[in-house]
């Protein structure tokens, strides 16, 4: 075992202490964890373990597999390469869990966010096979909010009070005050909770959230129609003049409703220049921002009643608060006043994409629990109705058939991060490129050669067509998930945190250097 490995792992841990009984104690760890950590650090296969752990980026729940695969050239029948988990230092192949959620696996979530960042930035600045002139196309950062489902406590600008004035009666039907004189600070528990939970419309909250993906879809259709009107072309021929591309993420607000944050880009005709052609000159980012606001305001969807007897159709739309701002890239000059930089926007979106309802919401919060309960109850009624009417057609065909299944996400069934097809590249392309690069680096290491990955970027990102000539035959068995001992889990976690700190320091250093150069 190398001294360097041991030192690196020790450095990731708190300083050990020896207490009265001369027992090793690592602050912050239970005795059984400390013991398991030390056992790993003095084990013979420490090096093998640390290689496997670093290869999966110190993932919290790695997946262990055993088996082998052979790659065959189908034109010649020749075996190109073969690989077996038996060659691995630990005797099994360890792969990342790949979870996007920060609360589940911080390292995999960071990798996901980094890929999202690359994907989003490529659609703003170009790069990663996206032409750089895409930066000249009008781009808007928009936030689409949910409407009010009842008054909730909130923070106000300039230290103003929460709800000092009653809009109607000073007391609601439940005898509660409709005003709140508090000035809520940021971590205040009251934030996002209803002023009166009995006045709050939980059923509409769940119904809105359920149809939020449909509202987004209608927004994109409406925006295309408004663009056609603005350009004076028939809606059916709009794609011959402009195309709309976007990347969007959903983010839970404290009140338990999602907001959509989206980058919306206007390109030229779909068929020209690989889909990234210049947009018509008469639409600037400022005009696009206004058209986006008009489109958001115009979106309507009539949601059917959840059940037949005592519910009504609801006309749904987005909230009246719409933020749509031009994003200025270095090359674009049509709105120098806008302060949003592409890096900022890509960073926001990447960060939001790693959260789920369960992460942003606190399980003890009575408001969020009531939303979940409402979704659950409505879902159960839909199932009961279905059973009572003789199970006609599959339950999934009913508009609210799967509502109960999404109760844990507070009724939101959409994807957290989505993009239109030609926004930029795909996550799949980025992941395949990384795997190819890792393979090339490993091969070069073995041969003692150096390799210029930057020069190979386009090749690495190329859409895969080599399975036409090679065939991979493999047989793999899943053995288990997670680290084998609490010591290994603790070491992986500490090493991941240390690696993260190291990356942040390096990023700060780089930033300081570039500002100095300017
Ligand atoms: Zn992981
Ligand atoms: Zn308040
Ligand atoms: Zn009330």
Q: Residue 25: which pLDDT band, with cuts at 50, 70 and 90?
A: confident
Q: Is residue 518 scored above 60 in pLDDT?
A: no
21 SS3 class: coil
Among the bound ligands, name the one nearest to the CA of residue 162: 2
Q: Which ligand minimizes its atom distance to the CA of 482?
A: 1
| Ligand lying nearest the CA atom of residue 169 | 3
Three-state DSSP class for residue 408? helix
- Distance, in Å, from the CA atom of 456 to the CA atom of 20, rounded to the nearest integer, reads 59
User: How many whole angstroms from 358 Cα to the centroid of ligand 1?
Assistant: 18
Alpha helix (H) ranges present in 353-484? Answer: 357-360, 366-388, 427-447, 457-461
Percentage with pLDDT > 90 across the chain? 39
Rounded to whole angstroms, the Cα distance separating 291 from 19 reads 68
Distance in Å, CA 187 to ligand 2 centroid: 13
Cα of 202 vs centre of ligand 3, distance in Å, is 13
Give the number of the ligand closest to the Cα of residue 171.
3
Tokens of 165: 């004035």
Does pLDDT of 414 surpass 80? yes
Scored b (16 or more CB within 10 A) or e, 105-121 reads bbbbbbbbbebbbbbbb
CA of 109 to the centre of ligand 1 (A): 7
- The H or E element that residue 265 is part of is strand 258-267
The pLDDT assigned to 329 comes to 63
Asked whether the predicted pLDDT for residue 3 surpasses 70, the reply is no
Q: How far is the CA of 213 from the centre of ligand 1 (A)?
A: 28
pLDDT digits (tens, 9 = 90+) for 247-296: 999 988 889 999 999 999 999 987 776 778 888 888 999 999 999 999 99
Nearest ligand by distance to the CA of 177: 3
Q: Which ligand is nearest to the CA of 180?
A: 2
Mean pLDDT of 325-353: 68
User: Got the DSSP string for 60-106?
Assistant: SSPEEEEEEEEEEETTT--EEEEEEGGGSTTSSEEE------TTT-H
Pairing, β 258-267 against β 243-252: antiparallel
Ligand 3 centroid–CA 197 distance in Å is 7
- What pLDDT is stored for residue 61 in this prediction? 92
What's the first-to-final CA gap in the chain, in angstroms? 46
pLDDT tens-place string over residues 118-168: 888 899 888 888 888 888 899 999 999 999 999 999 998 888 999 998 878
The bridge status of strand 93-95 relative to strand 63-73 is antiparallel
CA 433–ligand 1 middle distance (angstroms): 19
Indicate the DSSP class of residue 251: E
Question: 453 CA distance to ligand 1 centroid (A)?
Answer: 25
Tell me, in angstroms, the distance from the centre of ligand 1 to residue 110's CA.
Answer: 9
Q: How many whole angstroms from 476 Cα to the centroid of ligand 1?
A: 20
Ligand 1 centre to CA of 61 (Å) is: 5
| CA 408 to centroid of ligand 1, rounded, Å | 22
Rounded CA-CA distance 439/452 in Å is 13
Cα 495 to ligand 1 centre (Å): 13
CB 46 within 8 A of CB 485: no
Which residue pairs from 177-183 have beta carbons closer than 8 angstroms and sit at least 24 positions apart in sequence?
Answer: 178/151, 180/153, 182/153, 183/156, 183/159
Find where tokens 């005003």 sit: 179
3-state SS class at 190 = coil
Is residue 466 over pLDDT 50? no
CA distances in angstroms from 145 to 126, 129, 184, 216, listed in the order given: 29, 33, 21, 11
CA of residue 234 to ligand 1 center, whole Å: 49
What is the residue whose two structure tokens read 């003049």? 241
Percent of the chain residues past pLDDT 70, beyond the cut: 91
Q: pLDDT band at 116, cuts 50/70/90?
A: confident
Nearest to 278 by CA among 60, 424, 97, 132: 132
Identify the residue whose tokens are 């039907």.
173
Distance 184 CA to ligand 2 centre (A): 6
Separation of CA 97 and ligand 1 centre (Å): 4
Q: Return the exposure string of 144-168: e unless at least 16 CB atoms fall within 10 Å of the residue's CB, then b.
A: bbbebbbbbbbeeeeeeebbeeeee
Query: Which of 13-22, 92-101, 182-191, 494-503 bottoms out in mean pLDDT, i.e. has the lowest?
Result: 13-22
Q: How far apart are the CA of 128 and the centre of ligand 1, in A?
A: 25
Q: Under a CB-based contact definition with an 8 Å cutoff, are residues 137 and 267 in contact? A: yes
- For residue 346, the CA-to-ligand 1 centroid distance in Å is 22
HSE of 475 in the Cβ direction (CA atoms, 13 Å)? 0
Q: What mean pLDDT, rounded, does the chain reach?
A: 86
Q: Which of 259, 28, 35 is nearest to 147 (CA)?
A: 259
Report angle CA 145, 245, 264 to the nearest 5 degrees.
40
| Tokens describing residue 293 | 């606001």
Does the pLDDT value for residue 1 go beyond 50?
Answer: no
* φ, ψ for residue 411, nearest 5 deg: 90, -5
CA nearest 211: which of 399, 418, 401, 416?
399
Q: How far is CA 103 from CA 61, 100, 350, in A?
A: 12, 9, 15
User: Considering all CA atoms of the chain, what is the largest pairwise distance in Å, rounded to the nearest integer?
Assistant: 85
Residue 102 CA, ligand 1 centroid: distance in Å: 9
| DSSP-derived secondary structure letter, 322 | E
Ligand sitting nearest the alpha carbon of 57:
1
- Nearest ligand to the C-alpha atom of residue 496: 1
Binned at pLDDT 50, 70 and 90, residue 197 comes out as: very high
Instruction: pLDDT band for 375, please (50, 70, 90 cuts).
Output: very high
- CB count in 10 Å sphere of residue 439: 11
Ligand nearest to the CA of 183: 2
Q: Nearest Cα to 278, choosing from 321, 242, 238?
A: 242
The answer to whether 461 and 429 have CB atoms below 8 angstroms apart is yes
Q: How far away, in angstroms, is 311 Cα from ligand 3 center?
A: 20
Segment 412-431 shows an average pLDDT of 85
DSSP string, 107-160: HHHHHHHHHHHHHHHHHHH-BTTB-GGGGGS-EEEEEEPPPPSS-B----GGG-
Contact 192, 253 (CB under 8 A): yes
* Tens digit of each residue's pLDDT (9 = 90 or more) over 423-456: 888 888 888 888 878 778 877 777 888 878 777 7
**Ligand 2 centre distance from Cα of residue 180 (Å):** 5
**More confident of the two residues 182 and 462:** 182
Classify 179 as helix, strand or coil.
coil
CA–centroid distance, 153 to ligand 2, in Å, is 4
Mean pLDDT score, 492-515: 86
284-335 pLDDT, tens per residue? 999 999 999 999 999 999 999 998 778 999 999 999 988 898 887 654 445 5
From 138-147, 216-225, 244-253, 352-361, the region with the lowest mean pLDDT: 352-361
CB count in 10 Å sphere of residue 394: 9
Ligand with the closest atom to the CA of 178: 3
Asked whether the beta carbons of 249 and 353 are under 8 A apart, the reply is yes
Distance CA 493, CA 60 (A): 7
Token pair 């795909």: residue: 426
């Amino acid at each position: 075992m190398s001294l360097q490995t041991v030192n690196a792992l020790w450095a990731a841990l708190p300083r050990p202490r020896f207490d009265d009984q001369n027992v090793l104690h690592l602050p912050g760890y239970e005795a059984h964890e400390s013991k398991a950590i030390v056992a790993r650090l003095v084990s013979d296969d420490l090096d093998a373990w640390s290689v496997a752990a670093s290869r999966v980026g110190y993932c919290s729940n790695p997946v262990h597999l055993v088996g082998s695969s052979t790659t065959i050239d189908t034109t010649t029948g020749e075996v190109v390469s073969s690989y077996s988990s038996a060659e691995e230092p630990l005797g099994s192949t360890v792969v990342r869990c790949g979870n996007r959620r920060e609360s589940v696996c911080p390292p995999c979530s960071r990798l996901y966010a980094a890929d999202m960042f690359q994907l989003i930035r490529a659609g703003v600045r170009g790069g990663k096979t996206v032409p750089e002139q895409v930066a000249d196309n009008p781009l808007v950062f928009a936030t689409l909010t949910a409407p009010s489902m009842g008054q909730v406590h909130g923070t106000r600008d300039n230290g103003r009070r929460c709800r000092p004035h009653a809009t109607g009666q000073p007391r609601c039907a439940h005898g509660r005050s409709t005003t709140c004189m508090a000035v809520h600070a940021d971590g205040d528990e009251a934030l996002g909770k209803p002023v009166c939970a009995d006045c709050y419309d939980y059923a509409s909250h769940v119904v809105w959230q359920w149809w939020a993906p449909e509202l987004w879809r209608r927004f994109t259709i409406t925006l295309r129609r408004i663009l056609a009107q603005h350009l004076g072309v028939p809606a059916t021929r709009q794609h011959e003049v402009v195309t709309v591309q976007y990347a969007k993420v959903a983010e839970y607000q404290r009140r338990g409703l999602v907001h959509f944050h989206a980058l919306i880009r206007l390109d030229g005709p779909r068929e020209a220049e690989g889909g990234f052609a210049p947009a018509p000159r008469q639409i600037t980012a400022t005009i696009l921002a206004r058209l986006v606001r008009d489109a958001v305001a115009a979106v309507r969807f009539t949601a059917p009643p959840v059940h037949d007897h005592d519910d009504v159709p609801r006309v749904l739309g987005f909230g009246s608060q719409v933020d749509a701002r031009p994003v200025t890239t270095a090359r674009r000059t049509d709105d120098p006043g806008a302060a949003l930089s592409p890096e900022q926007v890509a960073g926001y979106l990447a960060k939001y994409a790693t959260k789920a309802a369960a992460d942003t919401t606190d399980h003890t919060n009575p408001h969020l629990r009531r939303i979940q309960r409402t979704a659950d109850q409505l879902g159960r009624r839909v199932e009961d109705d279905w059973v009572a009417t003789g199970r006609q057609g599959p339950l999934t065909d009913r508009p609210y058939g799967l509502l109960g299944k999404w109760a844990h996400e507070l009724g939101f069934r959409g994807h957290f991060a989505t993009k239109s097809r030609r926004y930029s590249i795909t996550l799949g392309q980025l992941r395949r490129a990384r795997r190819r690069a890792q393979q090339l680096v490993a091969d070069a290491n073995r041969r003692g050669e150096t390799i210029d990955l930057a020069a190979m970027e386009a090749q690495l990102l190329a859409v895969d067509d080599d399975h036409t000539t090679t065939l991979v035959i493999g047989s793999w068995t899943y053995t288990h998930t997670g680290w084998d001992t609490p010591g290994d889990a603790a070491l992986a976690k500490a090493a991941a945190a240390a690696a993260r700190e190291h990356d942040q320091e390096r990023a700060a250093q780089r930033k300081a250097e570039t500002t100095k150069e300017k």
